Amino acid sequence: MVADNLKKIKNNIPSHVTLVAVSKTKPDNAIAEAYKDGHIDFGENKVQELVEKYEKLPKEIRWHMIGHLQTNKVKYIAPFVYMIHSVDKEKLLKTINKEAKKANRVIPCLLQFHIASEESKYGLSVDEAEDMLSRKAEYPHVVIRGVMGMATFTDDQEKIRSEFRLLKEIYSTLQQKYYSDDKNFSEISMGMSEDYPIALEEGSTIIRVGSAIFGERNYSKK
């Protein structure tokens, strides 16, 4: 079933788009089924679960950290994480840089912006992001690959579309100001099970899809 769902989604997205299969709360065997089918990008939102799955599952898997990350937990994932989507504070970026250095790595990161109308503590303002990017040379063990955001959980398609459009605008502004001659800043991580078709129309390059692949999760929190 997991393999069929993956195939359906992959057949409907452009080949340059990365599909991150969000496996949070799902058992190892569901991930293994997708992996056997050739899928290697998986997303988790909790450090402990991410580390446990990393230890048990094939090392070829590319683990994306998509949830809020506390600075004191960065050290557990720095040796292996493929990409961190949720940089929402300069202090976090600084810690990732430090732990990446210890692990002898350069860790790809995305800057998270709060584009939805729901309350959230997480996400940078554009001013904070610009301030941070003016010092990006101080963080040689991270490479900032782009931006990430989540739209409001609503049926209002036009509202969702306008939020994705806002994220794309933030991306373009930062790209022009700080990365005009750097191809690394190229990713826009937006779109989940319910809204990824809209996200793709608005320029998403990474979609993070969970329930449409693995089925509903057994808790009500999104």
Ligand X SMILES: *Cc1c(COP(=O)(O)O)cnc(C)c1O
CA–CA dist 18, 146 (Å, integer): 13
CA–CA dist 10, 151 (Å, integer): 22
132 or 212: CB nearest ligand X: 212
Contacts with ligand X in 131-160 (CB under 6 A)?
A: 150
**Residue 29 CB: number of other CB atoms within 10 A?**
8
CA–CA dist 162, 159 (Å, integer): 5
142 or 150: CB nearest ligand X: 150
Report in angstroms how near the CB of residue 112 gets to ligand X at its nearest.
9
Instruction: Based on the shown chain and the rule CB under 6 A, indicate whether residue 108 belongs to the binding site for ligand X.
Output: no
Closest CA to 85 of 102, 106, 55, 108: 108
Instruction: Based on the shown chain and the rule CB under 6 A, indicate whether residue 192 belongs to the binding site for ligand X.
Output: yes
Among 6, 21, 50, 66, which residue interacts with ligand X (rule: CB under 6 A)?
66
Which listed range, 52-60, 126-134, 158-166, 209-217, lies at the site for ligand X (CB under 6 A)?
209-217
167 or 209: CB nearest ligand X: 209
Among 22, 74, 84, 160, which residue interacts with ligand X (rule: CB under 6 A)?
22
Which listed range, 10-18, 90-98, 176-184, 187-195, lies at the site for ligand X (CB under 6 A)?
187-195
Q: Which residues contact 38 (CB under 8 A, 6 or more apart)?
A: none
181 or 219: CB nearest ligand X: 219
Among 35, 54, 64, 67, which residue interacts with ligand X (rule: CB under 6 A)?
67
Contacts with ligand X in 23-62 (CB under 6 A)?
A: 24, 45
Structure tokens at 76: 């557990």
Report in angstroms how near the CB of residue 157 gets to ligand X at its nearest.
16
Q: Strands of the chain (E only): list them.
A: 18-22, 41-44, 62-65, 83-87, 107-113, 142-149, 187-189, 206-209
Closest CA to 45 of 85, 104, 80, 6: 85
Closest CA to 135 of 78, 171, 97: 97
Q: How many residues bind ligand X (CB under 6 A)?
A: 14
Residues of the shown chain interacting with ligand X in the complex, contacts defined by CB under 6 A = 22, 24, 45, 66-67, 150, 192-194, 208-212
